[in-house]
Amino acid sequence: MGKDSRKRLKRLAQRQGVLTLAQQCAAMKSRMPSWQQRARRRDFVRWEGWLQPTDYSEQYKIRIELRRLNVPKAYLMSHPITNAEGSRTPHLYKDDTLCLYQPAYREWLPNMLIHETIIPWCSLWLFHYENWLITGEWYGGGEH
């Protein structure tokens, strides 16, 4: 892609309110101070942090990767995504990332902050994941 095209796309993105990686990183540093930025390249960032949905829940380690012009991906790092019987947790993509929203409903858009969307949705997903491990049922609703 030529330098001019990139500049045009950048201006277009800015007009649409698309957040840059730098903006997402700044917000994460400020609002999720216990999370760590593990990798940073020009068009890629990876964060990791712990979430504990309730006081009686486990703490779970989540990795979030965001590639420029791409959708964020969330991974469960600390625990298996299958239960003792070997069943896969509901609401995972084939690449084992967490299915946190329905793309068709535009629930996440690039003008949204990760810490206001992906992270709380991870916490909620983890709450239901834990309940699924305990009971075998997913109580968080959703679609396939």
Partner 1 sequence: MFDRDGLLIAICEVIQLSRPKYAMVSERYKAIGRWLGAQGSVFENDRPEIYPQGSFAIQTTVRPHGEIQEYDLDFVMELAGGATRYQISPEALLNDLESRLRENGKYKGIVERMNRCIRLNYAGDFHLDILPALPAPNRGLSYKIIVPDRELHQYKPSNPKGYRDWFRAQSTRVLLKESSIEPLTPMQAAAEKPNLCNIVQLAKRARDVEFSKPETAVRSIVLTTLLAMHYSSGSSLEHELSMTLKATNTTIAQCRNIIEVYNPANPEEKLSECWDKYPEQYQSFTSWMSNFCEKVDQLQRLHGLELAIALKAMFGEGVVNQAVQLNASKVEKLRSSGQLGMSSRGSRTGSLSIASAVAPAIKKNTFYGQG
By CB under 8 A, name the binding residues for partner 1. 31-35, 49-59, 88, 90-94, 99-103, 105, 107-108, 112, 115-117, 119-128, 130-131, 133-135, 137, 139-144
Q: Among residues 53 and 66, whose Cβ is nearest to partner 1?
A: 53
Return the ∠ at Cα 48 (arms to 116 and 124), rounded to 5°: 45
Q: Among residues 66 and 128, whose Cβ is nearest to partner 1?
A: 128
Name the one residue in this structure whose structure tokens are 């469960």.
76
- Output phi, psi for 116, to 5 deg: -95, -10
Q: What is the 3-state secondary structure (H, E, C) of 41-64?
A: ECCEEEEEEEECCCCCCCCEEEEE
* Minimum distance of partner 1 from residue 2's CB (angstroms): 36
* Minimum distance of partner 1 from residue 13's CB (angstroms): 21
